[in-house]
Structure 1
Amino acid sequence: MGSTSNPVHEATPSMSLTGHLQQVFSHVKIGNLVAGLSGGVVSTLVLHPLDLVKIRFAVQWYFSLYEERVAAGGTQRTLSRRNPNVWGAGASWGLYFFFYNAIKGYAKEGRQTELSATEHLVSAAEAGVLTLTITNPIWVTKTRLVLQYDAGLSGKHYKGMVDALVKIYRQEGLAGLYKGYIPGLFGTSHGALQFMAYEELKRDYNKYKKAPSDAKLSALEYITMAALSKLFAAATTYPYQVVRARLQDQHNKYNGVIDVVRRTWRNEGFVGFYKGIGANLIRVTPACCITFVVYENVSRLLIT
């Protein structure tokens, strides 16, 4: 009697967690890490100013970009705030593609059929959890640096990325570096939905063209697939980003995720959970397109 199960993935008493991880990482390709990192860094350098606007709108603090630029030391502050953004985006995209392709390769091992939409969703969600666990301290640092426009009032001032990491750890412990981690876990649904949509769009489009599912597309085609998948994911999951940014903001004290949600709903209503979405959509759509085009082309150069 035939079976469609994959014996490689069947759990057995002798198969330890370490064994499973070894099988997953047998599909690791450093090229995916380098390609993802390249895409994240390039898109961040190009579109950093819009990300600054999005975060500040999300936490309700209004400011003048012109005044910040001309203030004493403004250039240094701008550069210090860009560093964690570049590191965070580069590391996040690199690790995400790194883990995602390894998990996807493991799931597909020994199979002749394509992965389903659900399998793409689960693979991307797992990659998101691993990536977030490693990079959350960088994102906390980024948020703190972006929002330290009133250091005298808050009593906290950070000179740069490393200084912020050290001070947050000393003053708030490990918990301080992982503020926003719980809503960030919910946010892995964003990447999962985006990658699922991206994979399905590529596969259906290639099927429509009667081409192999992994056939190379043109830059314009990659841009279209990336834009559509990103818009879908962003519109679906944006509220968690507002909650996460407010938890990480050093100017306000919240007693956890529920407190942020309750106070935002009470004071601002439904609209409060979508503050900054305009700037976010303007930023993330081209950022995603740049990232995916760079990734697809660099990965094809590095991975045979």
Structure 2
Amino acid sequence: MDFLIGGLAGAGATIVTNPMDVVKTRMQLQGELRARGTAPERYKGIFHAVYVIAKADGLLALQRGLAPAMWLGFTMNSVRLGGYHTAISHGWTKDKNGNTVLLKAMLCSSISGMLSGLTGNPAFMLKTRIQASAHPSIAVGRQHRYKGMIDGIRTVYRTEGLKGFFAGVNATCLRLAVGSAAQLPTFTIAKEYLIARGYLQNSPMTLAFVASLGSGVLCVLIETPLDVANTRLYNQASAASGKQLYSGVMDCLTKIYKTEGLHGMYKGLGPLYLRIAPHTTLSLVIWDTLNNVLLGYRKKS
């Protein structure tokens, strides 16, 4: 049940945040391996990106890749949130007095994040490629022309084999391990801090909302360079084509820094924050609320 609740929380939050994910993906691919100012700037900012995407591809293009994004939200968060909640339930994150130990919580959340990267990678890859596909007038990066998620699965399997579904998996596992270690313990400790001081004890949803706010900020600052690398690795050509730009996550980060500078490492920071912050808040609030409902049901039965 812990894993189902985690999955539902992630999938539910994805519906709201997917448009910012589309914008983030396009902005991260813009000017790929080009020095700043030498490539056409299709997207000049968050609101300009929303405008040109809606104008060129239609308003529904802002929800492009929603099916694999929801698949990702469910599979990834069922493992990440479900695994972390299991660790909490078994006391693996606490000391003998029942207080959360930061290092223990970071270790448990990091492991659950890394495992979620393995399970969610195929959906993550498909989502990124579908979101990047655009009208030629605003296209950036390599264009994978899939007709939808099912067509994408068939095409990847036919042209790249099973290995194709795990492109960029090292970057994904690293990003989620680091991001989860920053996000989930922060959320847990913030909740405990507020409760210990008598705040919001009778308002669990508000408590979860307030505790989740700081998690989003910390996540974005730590995750952005790895998220940029993720997007680039997912969207590049297959190894069989001989046209790969990057051999792995460190090669990707090195090339981005050398050609695009620190700015390149933080491309899409704005839309990534506008995606992660509400996604973090929504998923953690939904997750916490469903866990409270389940706990109340168990107490009654």
Shorter-chain-normalised TM-score: which range?
A: 0.7 to 0.9
Letter of the 1:161 counterpart: M
Letter of the 1:113 counterpart: N
Residues 80, 125 of structure 1: CA spacing in aligned structure 2 closer, same or farther, 3 A cutoff? Answer: same
8 Å contact from structure 2 (residues 71, 123) kept in 1: yes
2:13 to 29, 36, 43: 43
Mapping for residues 75-224 of structure 1, pairs under 5 Å: 81-108=65-92, 112-114=96-98, 115-149=100-134, 156-187=144-175, 188-209=177-198, 217-224=203-210
Q: Secondary structure at the match of 1:85?
A: helix
Residues 110, 200 of structure 1: CA spacing in aligned structure 2 closer, same or farther, 3 A cutoff? Answer: closer
- What residue number does 2:232 align with? 246
Residues 172, 301 of structure 1: CA spacing in aligned structure 2 closer, same or farther, 3 A cutoff? Answer: same
Q: 1:300: Cα distance to partner?
A: 1.5
CA distance in 1, matches of 2:101, 2:263: 35
Residues 51, 109 of structure 1: CA spacing in aligned structure 2 closer, same or farther, 3 A cutoff? Answer: closer
Q: 1:241: Cα distance to partner?
A: 0.5
Q: 1:66: Cα distance to partner?
A: 5.0
8 Å contact from structure 1 (residues 80, 159) kept in 2: no
1:231 to 214, 217, 221: 217
CA distance in 2, matches of 1:202, 1:109: 14
Q: 1:103: Cα distance to partner?
A: 3.0
Q: 1:118: Cα distance to partner?
A: 0.8
8 Å contact from structure 1 (residues 144, 250) kept in 2: no
Q: Which has the larger radius of gyration?
A: 1
Seq. identity, %: 22
CA distance in 2, matches of 1:288, 1:207: 23
Q: 1:70: Cα distance to partner?
A: 6.0
- What residue number does 1:287 align with? 279
8 Å contact from structure 1 (residues 85, 139) kept in 2: yes
Letter of the 2:210 counterpart: T
CA distance in 2, matches of 1:292, 1:104: 15
Residues 279, 77 of structure 1: CA spacing in aligned structure 2 closer, same or farther, 3 A cutoff? Answer: closer
TM-score under structure 2 length normalisation:
0.79
Letter of the 2:225 counterpart: P
Q: 1:163: Cα distance to partner?
A: 1.6
Q: Secondary structure at the match of 1:149?
A: coil
Q: 1:225: Cα distance to partner?
A: 0.9
Q: 1:106: Cα distance to partner?
A: 3.7
Consecutive unaligned residues of structure 1, counting only runs of 5 or more, are 1-29
8 Å contact from structure 2 (residues 129, 234) kept in 1: yes
Residues 48, 210 of structure 1: CA spacing in aligned structure 2 closer, same or farther, 3 A cutoff? Answer: closer
Letter of the 1:157 counterpart: R
CA distance in 2, matches of 1:260, 1:169: 24
Q: How many residues align?
A: 270
CA distance in 2, matches of 1:228, 1:165: 36
Q: In terms of mean alpha carbon deviation, does 148-157 or 272-281 score higher?
A: 148-157
Q: 1:237: Cα distance to partner?
A: 2.5
